Amino acid sequence: MSVGFVGQLVGQALFQILMISAPMLGLAVIVGLTVSIFQATTSIQEQTLTFVPKIVVVLGAIIVFGTWILNSMINFTMRIFELIPDMIQ
């Protein structure tokens, strides 16, 4: 197992993590900005107002994208298992 092989594997793992977390993070950022703009325009400074919509949206995103996330993780894990013989040599 060479250093390049390990580096490539780590790069693929980091890319996989970014792809899996992107829908939830993107939606949370959009909702957070929307709530912040709403709070700034109405002068409502309630701290819980920012967390509840984000939690609801992230849970909704997990429900919507859950099958894609699971399939993506399974495919990546299967690729890792297929690479085990190459790692031993």
Which tens digits make up the pLDDT trace of 3-25?
Answer: 888 888 899 999 999 999 999 99
At residue 28 the predicted structure's pLDDT band, cuts being 50, 70 and 90, is very high
Farthest CA pair distance, the chain: 64
pTM of the model: 0.78
Note whether 20 and 72 are within 8 A (CB): yes
* Sign of the four-CA dihedral 53, 61, 22, 82: positive
Note whether 39 and 49 are within 8 A (CB): yes
Which tens digit of pLDDT belongs to each residue from 44-87? 888 788 889 999 999 999 999 999 999 999 999 999 999 888 77
SS3 28: helix
Taking the domains of the chain in order of start, what are their residue ranges?
Answer: 55-89
**Is residue 89 over pLDDT 70?**
no
